Amino acid sequence: MSERWRLLQTGFNNAFMNMAIDKAILHANSKGFIPPTVRFYGWKPPAISIGYFQSLEEEVDIDACKRFGVDYVRRITGGGAVFHEHELTYSIVIPESHPEIPKNIMDSYGRICGALMKGLKHLGIESEYVPINDIVVKGKKISGNAQTRKMQRVLQHGTILLDVDVDKMFSLLRVPNEKIKDKLIADVKERVTSIKHVLGKTIAFNVVVEAMKKGFEEEFQVELIDGELTLEEKKLAKKFEKEIFSNREWNHRR
C-alpha cells in the first residue's frame, strides 16, 4: 500500500494568512503532529510576495498596490517577487529525512517540480524544469518555486500560472529604470506564459488542482488524502498572521 500524505485545499485567503498557514504546517510537521502535507491555495485579494532577501521598497510600488487593492507580504523563502492573481499556488511540507526527498537542495527542487510537470502533463502541457527554480513551456516560464529548510523540514511553495497580466504586474513592481519599462514589459511577455496562453482556453482552478494532485501522487508514489488544518495549526496560523506576516516590521525589514 502506498504512503498516505495529507492534502489541504484551503481555498482563497489573504497574503498574510496564506504565508502564515504554510509556516504553521511547517511548525506542526516538525513537532511530528502531522504527515507530509501538500496544500493548494489561491489569493484574495491579489497580492505580491517578495523573497526573504528582497528589499520591499526596491521591488514593490506600495502606492500602486494600495490603488489596485493588492496586498504585499515578505515570504520566509528566498527568490523573487511574484504577483499572485490568476494562479494556483501549492506548498509541500515534508521532513528532510524522508526517503523521497533528495538531501541536495537543487535535486529536491527538481524532484518537487517533477510533480508539477506531471500535473501539467495531465492538462496536456509538456514542460521542462530549468534550474534553479523555474518550470518552462517552450522556453517560457509557467511556474516559479521557492524552498526553505527549517527544523529539519523542507517547505517548498510555488505558483502555476493560470493566466497572466504582465502590464498589471509591472504597474505594481518597481523597475530600475522607467525609460526601459516598455522594453522590460515586452521582454517579460516573451519569457512568461500561462496555462491559458498555452492551451488557448481558460482551465478552472479546481481542474488544475486535480491535475496537480495526480502529479504529486505519481511523482512520489503516494496517496493524497483530503484533510483539514488541525486546531493547533489554525491557532499557529492566526498567531503568525498577526505577529509576522501582516506586521510592518517584518515586511519592511529589508
Partner 1 sequence: MQSKSVYKVPNGKLLKIFLDYNEKNDSINTIRITGDFFAYPEEAIEIIENELKGEVLDKRKLAEKINKIVTKQGIKFIGLDAEGLAEGIVLCKHE
Residues near partner 1 (CB under 8 A): 51-55, 58, 76-81, 105-106, 132-133, 146-150, 176, 254
The DSSP-derived string for 11-59 is EEE-HHHHHHHHHHHHHHHHTTSS--EEEEEEESS-EEEE-TTS-HHHH
Cell digits of residue 152: 529539519
**E strand or H helix that includes residue 150:** strand 140-150
Tell me the C-alpha distance between 61 and 171, whole Å: 8
Tell me the closest approach of the beta carbon of residue 80 to partner 1, in angstroms.
Answer: 4
Nearer to partner 1, 214 or 254 (CB): 254
Nearest to 101 by CA among 156, 43, 40: 156
Tell me the closest approach of the beta carbon of residue 106 to partner 1, in angstroms.
Answer: 7
Nearer to partner 1, 5 or 109 (CB): 109
Nearer to partner 1, 15 or 209 (CB): 15
Strands ordered across the beta sheet of 71-74: 71-74, 47-50, 82-84
- Residues 230/34, Cβ–Cβ less than 8 Å: yes
- Residues 147/155, Cβ–Cβ less than 8 Å: yes
Q: What is the dihedral of CA 119, 120, 123, 126, to 10 degrees?
A: -130
Q: Is 240 exposed, middle or buried, given 0-12, 13-18 or 19+ CB atoms closer than 10 A?
A: buried
Neighbours of 139 (CB within 10 A): 10
Nearer to partner 1, 134 or 233 (CB): 134
Residue 38, strand partner residues: 7, 92
Tell me the closest approach of the beta carbon of residue 201 to partner 1, in angstroms.
Answer: 32
Please report, in angstroms and rounded to a whole number, the separation of the first and last CA atoms in the chain: 47
Nearer to partner 1, 201 or 248 (CB): 248
Tell me the closest approach of the beta carbon of residue 57 to partner 1, in angstroms.
Answer: 10
Tell me the closest approach of the beta carbon of residue 252 to partner 1, in angstroms.
Answer: 12
Tell me the closest approach of the beta carbon of residue 244 to partner 1, in angstroms.
Answer: 13
Tell me the closest approach of the beta carbon of residue 6 to partner 1, in angstroms.
Answer: 25
Nearer to partner 1, 5 or 250 (CB): 250
Nearer to partner 1, 57 or 223 (CB): 57
